[in-house]
Structure 1
Amino acid sequence: MDTLISTLAIWSLPVLLAITLHEAAHGYVARHFGDPTAAEAGRITLNPFSHIDPVGTILVPAGILVLSMLAGSAGILFGWAKPVPVNFARLNNPKSDMLWVAAAGPFMNLVMAIGWAALLKLAHAGFGGAYADPLMQMALAGIMINAVLMFLNLLPIPPLDGGRIAVSLLPDRLAWQFARIEPYGFPILLLLLFSGILGAILWPMIAIFRDLLSTIFGF
């Protein structure tokens, strides 16, 4: 029980930040390109309570952590927040601006992963004193969850961010046909998850990314 509590304590802040700031970034960039929908709904905020989805932000990540501990193996830890409302029709150039709005979430995860890597380097050097070890564990968790969310969301499956990026880049006719996959996106994702294909796709990319951060920051 103590191990479970300590694990949840270490992962809570990184997961909360990774999921909520990912969504806030979408709203901020959408407003920049002409769509104030998220701003009007009060969703461009760093307040996590404005973004928390009880299931996707709390229950699913916590459940995956618990099951991974019981199974003694690492699972793909992911989750989601309440989607930030974006009205692509209100963007200045809906099709082209969609790319930047969609890319904002994964980019924010990249920024946070780099930030956690910098904290890991500081903690490894003794920053934090007696709390250095917990800080290192939290930083490792931050790198992991942000790497997972970044690469997961870049998969070209609508309505994931990668799917919207693909729609933005494809010629109009192909984009319209590809966008029709969106109602089936979540079932496709679940099928990939439970079949093990999702892990086979993501883990190599995550490993390379972590090795790259380790090389850059020297930890």
Structure 2
Amino acid sequence: MFDFNILSIIAGLPGLLIAMVVHEYAHAQVADWMGDDTPRMTGRLTLNPVAHIDPVGLIMLLVAQFGWAKPVMINPGNFRNWRKGEICVSLAGPMSNLLMAFLALVVEVIFVKAHLFTTTALPMVLHLIVLYNVNFAIFNMIPLPPLDGSRVLMCFLPTSWNYKLASLERYSFLILIALMMTPFFTYILIPLQRLVFALFSLILAPFL
């Protein structure tokens, strides 16, 4: 689960930055499309990593391969359709990560097939781009505020339940740390990671 290998950390930096920036930019862009200009006004409608990085989330993603970025501020009241807007914006981040992971995997497969790899560095970088983006997508779908999974869930829960779920946000970091000390990630998130890779392999099978 935790990886402190210096080579892996250096090779993983591009994947970390891509995962965070793409994820948060997707939230901001979709919110803008849905009628909310808050991300644009707060400087989040950009691919500049500085605007999106959360230091603690970056460290967690670096050492645990699961983490988070600085949440994009939105005003659901500006959406033309509140429920549709919330769902689309919340899913935009994880879906963009899965798309980025798939594209990186395609590049990796092309390079392997064409025998274009001349060093071990580039394959490792591409592999970690795939891995970090898949993990970032899965992690952010945990239904714990302020992660994306909780925002999707809140669109279908009664208002009273939403307040109870939202009240957990102040304890989110501690809850995540506690989960990392249990088999949660091994028995729940790792199988989901394998499922995503299996789907990617199924899509690419005709070209392998």
Short-chain TM bin = 0.7 to 0.9
Q: 1:93 to 1:186 in 2, by over 3 A?
A: farther
Aligned amino acid, residue 123 of structure 1: F
Report whether the alignment pairs 1:42 with 2:43.
yes
SS of alignment partner, residue 142 of structure 1: helix
Aligned length: 203
Contact 1:193–1:199, Cα closer than 8 Å, also in 2: no
Q: 1:10 to 1:92 in 2, by over 3 A?
A: same
> Using the alignment, how far apart are the partners of 1:24 and 1:127 within structure 2?
34
Contact 2:104–2:130, Cα closer than 8 Å, also in 1: yes
Matching residue within 105, 110, 113 for 1:117: 105
Contact 1:109–1:147, Cα closer than 8 Å, also in 2: yes
> Using the alignment, how far apart are the partners of 1:179 and 1:96 within structure 2?
20
Aligned position for 1:196:
183
Q: Give the alignment of 1:1-219 within 5 angstroms.
A: 4-57=5-58, 59-62=59-62, 64=63, 76-126=64-114, 128-131=116-119, 133-218=120-205
> Using the alignment, how far apart are the partners of 1:83 and 1:147 within structure 2?
18
Q: 1:89 to 1:199 in 2, by over 3 A?
A: farther
State the superposition RMSD in angstroms.
2.2
Identity of aligned residues (%): 33
Q: CA deviation at 1:88?
A: 2.4
Q: CA deviation at 1:78?
A: 2.1
Aligned amino acid, residue 60 of structure 2: V
> Using the alignment, how far apart are the partners of 1:82 and 1:161 within structure 2?
12
Cα deviation digits, residues 160-217 of structure 1 (max 9, x gap): 1001000012244443443333333332222111223233210111112112222322
> Using the alignment, how far apart are the partners of 1:178 and 1:96 within structure 2?
20
User: Normalising by the residue count of structure 1, what TM-score does the alignment of the two structures yield?
Assistant: 0.82
Q: CA deviation at 1:145?
A: 0.9
Contact 2:11–2:128, Cα closer than 8 Å, also in 1: yes
- Structure 1 residue runs of 5 or longer lacking an equivalent are 65-75
Cα deviation digits, residues 54-91 of structure 1 (max 9, x gap): 3432x4344x1xxxxxxxxxxx4123222222222332
> Using the alignment, how far apart are the partners of 1:122 and 1:91 within structure 2?
41
User: Normalising by the residue count of structure 2, what TM-score does the alignment of the two structures yield?
Assistant: 0.86
